[in-house]
């Protein structure tokens, strides 16, 4: 059934307190619940329904008297008293058989839970909805040495532990962990002087990979106090690493559970990118303690209330810890790569969706990343002060509540006096706005005209204009900035803005800092782009100018086989050799627009993208860059090569990013000598993997690949990289065969999402390989999604999005993709998750 936002009604029954007892056993865990229910004065009915799935009900009692509820696959109903009553139930579940990784499951001998969004109903019968908040007390009975749940530990003895969480919470924030685990301990003193016990819990053998996560946690706790005035509110904060996990991590109250790939790091086994991601995810989950847990969502349509805000907060944190421009550029790359793609295809949906079949399908780039962009625009529009006031009002007014986007916008209206009625359209209208910019100059006045168009998306047409904060700066012909960054507010379909008193026609630097998540359509030329690349004061736009140059050069090469554009190559040389620029920024400038990006550029221009030609064009461009810059690259590489003890900090990480990018180019002309030297000397994963990648990219590295597997066969996260890099670097005609062969290995498994994604996520990302004219990529991915679906619907559904761009391609490819989608859709026992995704993609 489809669930609609418009159908929301308050819960009939509220929960005053919950006691849970777990008697853990792999195939027959018993869960005893004691739940004190009271009628909700705001409810329209007293009908009683508890969600419950895949549970065996052993017994149930109301106020001590046995009852026989009516049980369906979705839950149970029962006749209940008029007033408050005590519900008691005992159910049995089988964590060992739970391969969906939702509810209570076993992962390498360790019990763990994942309840967001609707996993708690696989643990016991309960009103599993976020607007039912309650105080939980949990008793765990098991012989395993470490028994954890939410809140503070209140009792512990031989074979049991008891936990009490004083903060009311919805069931999706419940967590339990039991296993033979080790902790890296730590502590943090809050600004009001309370000492908090910290732990990072891992399996034996991983204890040397926790230090960085612990430091990231302390930094996050401090930052949230300093920047948002938010203190931690329990005596203990636990983080647990789990190998089998569908997502990155989960913010369960006081007991964050992480995919081990989002916690574990040592210099030898993790790359700089891994370190940065770990720092960001630790921060993200920690920040949820206030934006998500203390203030939660009324219903799942409001998901962006906690996710958009928390992504925005973790991006601010990363910008503070590292480089602000580099973070912004990476976020925009990600936004365009994942969110624009989603917004422009059959899976487009508003930041606040209005209907769903399976909520797990809406943990999307739109809800998370566009959701964060919407917060960023709000902050730009009301200013830093207004933002600070509104957010404090949000915490004061809504602490302990389950809220909506309306509540969120209201604090901004109340704190700043601004009417946000029109702004709210960002939450309800799907699709990426296109802003067309034209300009004119006469008598010292420069006029910018902005026009917004909002594309139709599934189920939505005739959209209303949105509020678009458009940051712009003006440079004079000498390159000096004559108008610093100014925020224009585009609210009409079309609007003009004048800048007076100029001495000459300026060069505009539009949409600085990517001030709104829109596509900018601005007729410009390579001369203007090269000018901005050389002179813009806005680092984002400087990078953007280089990117546009690269894109137009590539499109020309792909279309007509021309040699690379001189303006691009000159600009690139100037940029990479400019020692005043941050190496991390230069590394970003060296990377070419992705294959998918180029495919979209063709589609936007009304042309059919040819994945093979795009791949060949990028290869030719890389070789041309390598040759043209051959005189400068080795010296640059030598200047920035980091030797000596490894530190994951932004400074050295940026240098390694630059040298790895240079190495990939150098390897195209030196027979692989420099990369082999780096591989042999590397004492850290960033340089080892960078060298291996450079070799594979130059058609070499077979020996190193074998040595790598030998060296790391006991490190599963490193082996994920080994699986992934081979598929990612495979030539188009070999990608599917490479993935197929890897999937036959003994160390490939369907039950570990990281390993599955390492192979098949990489295949989907290898655009020319996935879209190879043979159709092998499509067939192989579908084969394996069909195998995975019965075991793990969530990960299967998520990976179906590889097909979301199918309508962009030529008739042959379209037909082949459609056939695979239909093959999946026709499966008799297809999961609700995958069924919804495939249905939406097919349209």
CA distance 339 to 353: 15
Sign of the Cα torsion 691, 695, 696, 697 reads: positive
CA distance 594 to 600: 10
117 binds, among Zn ion, ligand ARG, none (CB under 5 to 8 A by kind): ligand ARG
Q: Cβ of residue 70: shortest distance to Zn ion, in angstroms?
A: 36
Among 242, 256, 252, smallest CA distance to 120 is for 252
CA distance 404 to 410: 10
Closest residue to ligand ARG, based on beta-carbon distance = 363
Among 53, 88, 165, 307, binds ligand ARG (CB under 6 A): 307
Q: Cβ of residue 172: shortest distance to ligand ARG, in angstroms?
A: 8
The structure tokens listed for 104 are 């209570």
Q: Which stretch binds ligand ARG (CB under 6 A): 244-252, 476-484, 494-502, 593-601?
A: 244-252
Q: Which residues does 525 contact at the CB level (< 8 Å), separation at least 6?
A: none
Look at residue 710 and give its three-state secondary structure.
helix
Q: Cβ of residue 135: shortest distance to Zn ion, in angstroms?
A: 23
Q: Which secondary structure element, helix H or strand E, spans residue 724, and what is its range?
A: helix 716-729
Helices 811-825 and 776-788 pack at an angle, to 10 degrees, of 10
Q: Which stretch binds ligand ARG (CB under 6 A): 185-193, 198-206, 246-254, 610-618?
A: 246-254
Burial of residue 143, with CB atoms counted within 10 A of its CB: 0-12 exposed, 13-18 middle, 19 or more buried: exposed
Nearest CB to ligand ARG, comparing residues 515 and 792 = 792
Among 51, 165, 272, 285, binds ligand ARG (CB under 6 A): 285
Helices 539-560 and 324-334 pack at an angle, to 10 degrees, of 40
Active site residue 70: no
Q: Which of residues 791-810 bind ligand ARG (CB under 6 A)?
A: 794
Q: Which residues does 251 contact at the CB level (< 8 Å), separation at least 6?
A: 173, 284, 285, 286, 288, 289, 292, 293
Q: Cβ of residue 370: shortest distance to ligand ARG, in angstroms?
A: 15
Catalytic residue among 285, 358, 373, 595: 285
My answer on whether omega of the bond before 117 falls inside 30° of 0, hence cis, is yes
DSSP letter string over 268-298? TT--HHHHHHHHHHHHHHHHTTTBTTTBEES
What distance, in Å, lies between the first and last C-alpha atoms of the chain? 17
Q: Which stretch binds ligand ARG (CB under 6 A): 241-249, 490-498, 698-706, 812-820?
A: 241-249
CA distance 725 to 690: 10
The gap from C-alpha 123 to its chain's centroid, in whole angstroms, comes to 27
Buried b / exposed e over 781-809, threshold 16 CB at 10 Å, is bbbbbbebbbbbbbbbbbbbbbbbbbebb
Among 32, 80, 250, 257, binds ligand ARG (CB under 6 A): 250
Sign of the Cα torsion 362, 365, 368, 370 reads: negative
Nearest CB to ligand ARG, comparing residues 311 and 665 = 311
* Residues 342, 804 contacting (CB under 8 angstroms): yes
Is residue 360 a contact residue for ligand ARG (CB under 6 A)? yes
Q: Cβ of residue 3: shortest distance to ligand ARG, in angstroms?
A: 15
116 binds, among ligand ARG, Zn ion, none (CB under 5 to 8 A by kind): ligand ARG
CA distance 489 to 470: 6
Q: Cβ of residue 284: shortest distance to Zn ion, in angstroms?
A: 5
Nearest CB to Zn ion, comparing residues 33 and 310 = 310
Q: Are strands 134-141 and 13-23 parallel, antiparallel or unpaired?
A: parallel
Among 151, 168, 121, 163, smallest CA distance to 21 is for 163
Sign of the Cα torsion 785, 789, 794, 800 reads: positive
Unique residue bearing structure tokens 């600070």: 388
Q: Which residues does 368 contact at the CB level (< 8 Å), separation at least 6?
A: 304, 307, 308, 311
Q: Are strands 236-242 and 152-157 parallel, antiparallel or unpaired?
A: unpaired
Nearest CB to Zn ion, comparing residues 252 and 310 = 310
Nearest CB to Zn ion, comparing residues 310 and 600 = 310
269 binds, among Zn ion, ligand ARG, none (CB under 5 to 8 A by kind): none
Look at residue 410 and give its three-state secondary structure.
helix
360 binds, among ligand ARG, Zn ion, none (CB under 5 to 8 A by kind): ligand ARG
Among 50, 177, 240, 247, binds ligand ARG (CB under 6 A): 247
Q: How many chain residues interact with ligand ARG (CB under 6 A)?
A: 13
302 binds, among ligand ARG, Zn ion, none (CB under 5 to 8 A by kind): none
> Which residues bind to Zn ion, rule: CB under 5 A?
307, 310
165 binds, among ligand ARG, Zn ion, none (CB under 5 to 8 A by kind): none
Look at residue 557 and give its three-state secondary structure.
helix
Return phi, psi of residue 716, to 5°. Answer: -65, -35
Q: Which stretch binds ligand ARG (CB under 6 A): 245-253, 643-651, 695-703, 784-792?
A: 245-253
CA distance 513 to 542: 10
Among 200, 249, 381, 437, binds ligand ARG (CB under 6 A): 249
Is residue 251 a contact residue for ligand ARG (CB under 6 A)? yes
Among 91, 85, 78, smallest CA distance to 37 is for 85
Q: Which of residues 763-792 bind ligand ARG (CB under 6 A)?
A: none
Nearest CB to ligand ARG, comparing residues 32 and 250 = 250
Is residue 246 a contact residue for ligand ARG (CB under 6 A)? yes
Among 120, 114, 140, smallest CA distance to 132 is for 120
249 binds, among ligand ARG, Zn ion, none (CB under 5 to 8 A by kind): ligand ARG
CA distance 19 to 33: 6
* Residues 770, 733 contacting (CB under 8 angstroms): no
Is residue 395 a contact residue for ligand ARG (CB under 6 A)? no
Q: Which of residues 22-61 bind ligand ARG (CB under 6 A)?
A: none
Q: Cβ of residue 310: shortest distance to Zn ion, in angstroms?
A: 5
Q: Cβ of residue 459: shortest distance to ligand ARG, in angstroms?
A: 23
250 binds, among Zn ion, ligand ARG, none (CB under 5 to 8 A by kind): ligand ARG
Binding mask 59-98 for ligand ARG (x = CB under 6 A): ----------------------------------------
Nearest CB to Zn ion, comparing residues 307 and 789 = 307
Look at residue 27 and give its three-state secondary structure.
coil
Nearest CB to ligand ARG, comparing residues 98 and 659 = 98
Nearest CB to ligand ARG, comparing residues 12 and 310 = 310
Nearest CB to Zn ion, comparing residues 308 and 506 = 308
Q: Which stretch binds ligand ARG (CB under 6 A): 192-200, 248-256, 396-404, 603-611?
A: 248-256
Q: Cβ of residue 770: shortest distance to ligand ARG, in angstroms?
A: 25
Among 8, 160, 228, 363, binds ligand ARG (CB under 6 A): 363
Nearest CB to ligand ARG, comparing residues 358 and 565 = 358
Q: Cβ of residue 173: shortest distance to Zn ion, in angstroms?
A: 12
Q: Cβ of residue 559: shortest distance to ligand ARG, in angstroms?
A: 41
Nearest CB to ligand ARG, comparing residues 256 and 269 = 256
Binding mask 110-129 for ligand ARG (x = CB under 6 A): ------xx------------
Look at residue 514 and give its three-state secondary structure.
helix
Q: Cβ of residue 256: shortest distance to ligand ARG, in angstroms?
A: 9
Helical segments of 171-236, H only = 211-228
Nearest CB to Zn ion, comparing residues 318 and 452 = 318
Unique residue bearing structure tokens 């600085």: 512
The residues annotated as belonging to the active site are: 285
Interface residues toward ligand ARG, by CB under 6 A: 116-117, 246-247, 249-251, 284-285, 307, 360, 363, 794
């Amino acid at each position: 059934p489809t669930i609609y936002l418009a159908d929301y009604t308050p819960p009939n029954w509220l929960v005053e307190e919950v006691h849970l007892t777990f008697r853990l056993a792999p195939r027959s865990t018993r869960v005893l619940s004691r739940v004190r229910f009271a009628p909700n004065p705001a409810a329209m009915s007293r009908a009683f329904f508890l969600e419950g799935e895949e549970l065996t009900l052993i017994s149930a009692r109301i106020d001590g008297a046995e009852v026989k509820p009516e049980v369906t696959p979705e839950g149970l109903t029962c006749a209940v008293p008029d007033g408050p009553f005590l519900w008691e139930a005992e159910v049995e579940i089988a964590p060992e058989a739970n391969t969906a990784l939702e509810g209570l499951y076993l992962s390498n001998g360790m019990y763990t839970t994942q309840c967001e969004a609707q996993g708690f109903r696989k643990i016991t019968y309960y009103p599993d909805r976020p607007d039912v908040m309650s105080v939980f007390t949990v008793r765990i009975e098991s012989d395993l040495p470490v028994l954890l749940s939410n809140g503070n530990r209140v009792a512990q003895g031989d074979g049991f532990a008891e936990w009490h969480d004083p903060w009311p919470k919805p069931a999706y924030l419940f967590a339990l962990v039991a296993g033979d685990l080790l902790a890296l301990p730590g502590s943090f003193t809050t600004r009001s002087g309370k000492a908090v016990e910290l732990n990072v819990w891992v399996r034996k053998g991983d204890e040397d990979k926790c230090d960085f996560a612990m430091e990231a946690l302390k930094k996050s706790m401090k930052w949230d106090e300093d920047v948002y005035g938010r203190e931690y509110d329990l005596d203990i904060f636990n983080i647990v690493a789990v190998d089998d996990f569908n997502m990155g991590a989960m913010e369960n109250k006081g007991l964050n559970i992480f995919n081990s790939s989002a916690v574990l790091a040592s210099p030898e086994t993790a790359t700089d990118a891994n370190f940065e991601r770990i720092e960001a995810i630790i921060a993200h989950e920690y920040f949820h303690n206030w934006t998500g847990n203390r203030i939660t969502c009324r219903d799942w349509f409001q998901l962006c209330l906690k996710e958009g805000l928390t992504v925005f907060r973790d991006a601010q944190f990363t910008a503070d810890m590292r480089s602000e421009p580099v973070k912004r550029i990476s976020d925009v790359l990600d936004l365009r790569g994942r969110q624009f793609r989603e917004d422009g295809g059959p899976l487009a949906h508003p930041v606040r969706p209005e209907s769903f079949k399976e909520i797990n399908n809406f943990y999307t780039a739109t809800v998370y990343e566009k959701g964060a962009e919407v917060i960023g625009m709000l902050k730009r529009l009301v200013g830093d002060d207004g933002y600070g006031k509104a957010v404090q009002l949000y915490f004061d007014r809504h602490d302990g509540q389950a809220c909506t986007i309306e509540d969120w916008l209201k604090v901004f209206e109340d704190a700043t006096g601004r009417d946000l009625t029109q702004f709210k359209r960002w939450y309800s209208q799907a699709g990426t706005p296109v802003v067309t910019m034209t300009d004119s100059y006469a008598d010292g006045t420069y006029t910018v005209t902005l026009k917004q168009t909002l594309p139709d998306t599934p189920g939505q047409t005739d959209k209303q204009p949105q509020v678009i904060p458009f940051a712009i700066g003006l440079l004079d012909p000498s390159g000096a900035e004559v108008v610093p960054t100014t925020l224009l507010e585009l609210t009409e379909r079309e609007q003009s803005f004048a800048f007076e008193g100029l001495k000459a026609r300026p060069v505009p630097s539009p949409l600085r800092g990517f001030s709104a998540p829109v596509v900018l359509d601005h007729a410009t030329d390579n001369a203007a782009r090269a000018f901005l690349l050389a002179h813009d004061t806005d680092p984002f736009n400087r990078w953007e100018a280089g990117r546009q140059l690269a894109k137009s050069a590539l499109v020309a090469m792909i279309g007509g086989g021309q040699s690379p554009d001189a303006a691009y190559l000159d600009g690139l040389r100037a940029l990479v050799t400019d020692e005043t620029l941050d190496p991390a920024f230069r590394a970003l400038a060296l990377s070419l627009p992705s294959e998918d990006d180029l495919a979209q550029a063709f589609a936007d221009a009304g042309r059919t993208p040819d994945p093979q030609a795009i791949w060949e064009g990028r290869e030719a461009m890389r070789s041309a860059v390598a040759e043209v810059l051959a005189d400068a690259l080795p010296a640059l590489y030598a200047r920035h090569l980091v030797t000596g003890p490894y530190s994951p900090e932004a400074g050295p990480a940026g240098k390694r990013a630059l040298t790895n990018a240079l190495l990939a180019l150098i390897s195209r002309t030196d027979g692989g000598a420099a990369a082999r030297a780096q591989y042999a000397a590397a004492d850290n994963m960033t340089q080892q993997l960078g060298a291996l990648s450079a070799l594979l990219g130059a058609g070499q590295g077979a020996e190193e690949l074998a040595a790598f597997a030998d060296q790391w066969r006991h490190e599963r996260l490193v082996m994920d990289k080994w699986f992934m890099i081979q598929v990612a670097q495979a030539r188009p005609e070999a990608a599917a065969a490479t993935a197929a062969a890897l999937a036959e290995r003994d160390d490939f498994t369907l039950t570990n999402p990281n390993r599955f994604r390492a192979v098949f996520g990489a295949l989907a990302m290898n655009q020319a390989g996935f879209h190879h004219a043979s159709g092998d990529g499509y067939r192989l991915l579908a084969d394996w999604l069909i195998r995975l679906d019965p075991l793990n619907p969530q990960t299967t559904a998520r990976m179906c999005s590889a097909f979301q761009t199918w309508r962009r391609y030529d008739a042959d490819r379209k037909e082949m993709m459609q056939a695979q989608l239909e093959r999946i859709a026709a499966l008799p026992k297809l999961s609700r998750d995958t069924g919804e995704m495939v249905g939406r993609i097919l349209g």
